[in-house]
């Protein structure tokens, strides 16, 4: 008969699954790396399975591990909620909040205010495109997200933060930037354009505008990151696109120009999984927005 799976083993498994490495899991749990490794090895040997493939920079979950994590990852949330309940203080003098964001500018203003109110809470912020950020939230690799276009979902709590439109980034010495009026997609068809990848919400907005205008445009360049697009425009590679409040950079050599067809307002939301609102750190973030 196989020994019963212990809570300590499941706790170690969840930590490695969430952190992506044995060393990071050990730091999270306040244990030594060999102790965490031993817990995982005990599970694998007891059941004759492989949970993690060891890589040069961490540990990658097998399909079996992903299925197990899907069912057990609530344990860490329950543990944190129990700690909150048993804590005598709700002043948030300590704690940790993992936030993933779509763009630096809207996110940093909110994070700055959170830090001002709760300086004892450690904030880990990372950035990605729309697909990366939403995936991280659903897979519980972050506690909350700050993102334009958070999907409507009963599993989520989302609060509107601000509104913005997509604009064209045009070199300031370009004739289209010097006219001081919006441009149309038709005016851009013969210009070298810089597109984002398909998982970018900016690119989705642009594709929607091109479809409505019955235009098919082949870009001169595709880039994955908005900062790379901005830098490419700054270097004179072509004309790019970005949400108007995505970054605070205000180089005199780059002008944000409204595009006639990009007139849809997109809402920046702060969102979390509904079950994670029980955590004090998450509740505090959502309360600031409200």
Q: Between 88 and 32, whose confidence is greater?
A: 32
pLDDT of residue 157: 95
Residue 56 has pLDDT above 80, yes or no: no
Residue 148 has pLDDT above 50, yes or no: yes
pLDDT of residue 88: 43
Task: Round to whole Å and give the CA distance between 82 and 76.
Answer: 10
Task: Round to whole Å and give the CA distance between 45 and 7.
Answer: 17
Pairing mode, strands 144-148 and 156-164: unpaired
CATH code for the part of the protein at 7-72: 1.10.10.10
Tens of pLDDT, residues 211-245 = 988 998 999 999 988 889 999 999 999 999 998 88
Tens of pLDDT, residues 236-259 = 999 999 988 887 777 789 999 999
CB 246 within 8 A of CB 270: no
- Hey, where are the domains in the chain? 7-72, 76-159+267-289, 166-264
pLDDT of residue 290: 81
Strand stretches in 244-289, DSSP E: 254-258, 266-273
pLDDT of residue 70: 86
Task: Round to whole Å and give the CA distance between 159 and 272.
Answer: 9
Angle, to 10 degrees, between the axis of helix 33-47 and the axis of helix 22-29?
Answer: 110
Least confident of 28-37, 68-77, 93-102, 228-237: 68-77
> Domain spanning 166-264: which CATH class is it, in words?
alpha beta
Same fold yes or no, 7-72 and 76-159+267-289: no
Cα–Cα nearest to 276, from 267, 268, 285: 285
> Domain spanning 76-159+267-289: which CATH class is it, in words?
alpha beta
């Amino acid at each position: 008969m196989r020994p019963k799976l212990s809570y300590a083993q499941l706790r170690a498994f969840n930590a490695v699954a969430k952190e992506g490495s044995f060393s990071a899991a050990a730091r999270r749990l306040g244990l030594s790396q060999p102790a965490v490794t031993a817990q995982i090895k005990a599970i694998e040997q007891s059941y004759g399975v492989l949970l993690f493939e060891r890589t040069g920079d961490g540990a990658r979950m097998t399909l079996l591990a992903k299925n197990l994590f899907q069912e057990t990852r609530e344990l860490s949330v329950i543990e944190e909620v129990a700690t909150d309940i048993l804590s005598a203080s709700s002043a948030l003098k300590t704690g940790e909040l993992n936030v993933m964001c779509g763009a630096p500018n809207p996110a940093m203003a909110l994070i700055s205010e959170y830090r001002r109110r709760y300086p004892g809470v450690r904030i880990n912020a990372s950035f990605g495109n729309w697909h990366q950020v939403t995936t991280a939230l659903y897979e519980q690799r972050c506690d909350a997200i700050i993102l334009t276009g958070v999907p409507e979902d009963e599993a989520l709590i989302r609060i509107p933060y601000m509104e913005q439109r997509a604009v064209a980034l045009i070199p300031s010495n370009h004739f289209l930037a010097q006219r001081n009026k919006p441009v149309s997609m038709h005016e851009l068809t013969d210009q070298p354009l810089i597109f984002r990848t398909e998982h970018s919400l900016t690119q989705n907005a642009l594709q929607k505008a091109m479809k409505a205008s019955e235009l098919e445009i082949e870009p001169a360049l595709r880039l994955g990151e908005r900062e790379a697009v901005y830098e490419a425009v700054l270097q004179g590679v072509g004309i790019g696109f970005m949400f108007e409040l995505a970054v605070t950079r205000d180089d005199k050599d780059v002008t944000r120009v409204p595009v006639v067809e990009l007139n849809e307002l997109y809402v920046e939301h702060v969102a979390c999984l509904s079950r994670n609102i029980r955590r004090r750190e998450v509740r505090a973030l959502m309360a600031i927005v409200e």
